[in-house]
Chains A and B, each alone.
Chain A
Amino acid sequence: MSELLGHYNYWIVIVLMMTGFYTVIARPNLIKKIIGLFIFQTSVFILFISMAKIEGGTAPIIEAGISVYSNPLPHVLILTAIVVSLATTALGLALVVRIRQAYGTIDEDDIQVQDEED
């Protein structure tokens, strides 16, 4: 069972990562691209947190009578990364809103056409 499932988390993470990657490179809509990045980021979070897990462990809050805790370091890294990911997403969306005001569209192909006309 554990032989078969030992890498299950990592495989799903890779599928999610590639889903996000595909959205970023194949979809012309800029908001969709940012959502793709968001999926990609979340998959990285899951990768780190999966690595932190110890079988039979518990959340890293020290309590008498418990000896096995999951690894707190990846938790710290990802906790701050989530907040930063929101900051970057917000900045990206703000850029999209400004692009819409300047070009009247958020479709990458349309923007390219307009740029070439100028």
Chain B
Amino acid sequence: MEYLIDIVLLGLLMITGFAIVRMRSLLAVAMLTSIYSLLSASLFVVLDAVDVALTEAAIGAGISTILLLAAVALTTDEEQAPRHTPLLPLIVVITTGAALIYGTVDMPHYGDPASPVHRHVAATYLHDTPGEIGVPNVVTSVLASYRGYDTLGEVTVIFTAGAGVLALLGYRTRRRNSRGPGNRKLVVLRVIAKLFFPLILLFALYIQFHGDYGPGGGFQAGVIFATGFILYALAFGLGNAQRVIPHRMLHIMMAVGVLIYASVGIESMLLGGKFLEYRVLAEDPVTGQHLGIMLIELGVGITVAAVMLIIYYGFVSQQRSGDM
């Protein structure tokens, strides 16, 4: 049964991929990209990667689509017909593909428990996590504790991307939107947005603090948190959203998240441990791990949420006519 779902989902992914290449209307392509992400998120659930599925659903199907739509709205919807024959790219692609498929012949079979991937450190992580870290979700323990150093790097990359978008697009603060007569058609959206806004934020907090026990953590929670505000901005206009959460505050939050993460590392050094060695943070090593993981996940969540909103504000404030 699992195989069957896997085969069907991968087939659908392939069809969507081909449709994306063939379609000329970029608006339609943006929607197809969202479907493509949702399909891959479903596939990740089948493949046991629940944390990854949650991330892909929130980011790929959610925020990416919004950004693509914003970019299409700021540029053009229609893709011009290519002027060159696609012969040379096709030859290159088919040759590369054939070489790669030849490469898979040596790979271990899908689902094979004896394949080299599973023989390396993963078994140690699975075995040691309950005793050493004390959280049931091994993905969180590897992400936040065993490989905390990598994750610090990732958060810094996200911070840099936020700073890059800020440098490229800048930002303009909007004045509070007046409710013109044209906005009456948004009534349904506004009522729904008002109902959903607190629920989305609550769900984000749940994902943030429940990440030790179930799928979730700072990355997903940050994105979901930002989605709540994006929904608010979509329904009530950017000006009103910026009154709720001003641009300047986001600049500070973006840096504060990374600083929280790094200062946990420095704190553990000051207490006599190594960088990001959480077990020195409390008397009991396992409590120390819990504390460390909670703090750095908080840092991750704050930075991710702030960067997502900065990117969104950056794109939408480019729009001249206003309400997007």
A residues apposed to B, CB below 8 Å: 1-2, 5-12, 14-23, 25-29, 31-32, 35-36, 38-39, 42, 45-46, 49-55, 57-63, 68-76, 78-80, 82-91, 93-98, 100, 105-107, 109
Contacts and interface: CB of A to CB of B under 8 A. Distances in A.
Given A49-B47, A53-B110, A93 B97 contact: no
Contact of A88 (B83, B105, B147, B161): B161
Contacts of B20: 19, 23, 35, 39
18 contacts: A2-B109, A18-B100, A19-B14, A19-B17, A26-B89, A35-B20, A39-B20, A55-B113, A58-B48, A59-B49, A61-B137, A62-B138, A69-B138, A72-B139, A73-B120, A80-B143, A88-B161, A94-B314
Contacts of B232: none
A32 to B, nearest CB: 6
Q: Give chain B's interface residue range (CB within 8 Å of chain A).
A: 35 or more
Most chain B beta-carbon neighbours within 10 Å: one of A12, A58, A61, A68: A61
Contacts of A72: 122, 125-126, 138-139, 142
A8 B21 contact: no
The binding surface of chain A is classed by DSSP as helix
A91 B161 CA distance: 6
Contacts of A39: 17, 20, 36
Contact of A87 (B18, B150, B158): B158
B48 A79 contact: no
B80 A86 contact: no
A78 B142 CA distance: 12
A93 B130 contact: no
A62 to B, nearest CB: 4
A109 B118 CA distance: 47
Contact of B219 (A9, A71, A79, A90): A79
Nearest to B312: A90
Contacts, number: 282
Interface string B173-190: 000000000000000000
Contacts of B13: 12, 16, 46
Most chain B beta-carbon neighbours within 10 Å: one of A10, A55, A71, A106: A71
B60 interface: yes
Contact of B21 (A22, A76, A79): A22
Contacts of B168: 91, 94-95, 97-98
A16 B49 CA distance: 20
Given A8-B6, A22-B93, A52-B48, 5 more contacts: A9-B10, A46-B43, A59-B48, A88-B161, A97-B315
Contacts of A87: 157-158, 160-162, 307
A19 B169 contact: no
B139 A79 contact: yes
Nearest to A28: B82
Contacts of B113: 54-55, 57, 68
A25 B122 CA distance: 37
Most chain B beta-carbon neighbours within 10 Å: one of A12, A22, A88, A93: A93
Interface string B106-147: 010111110101101110011001100000111100110001
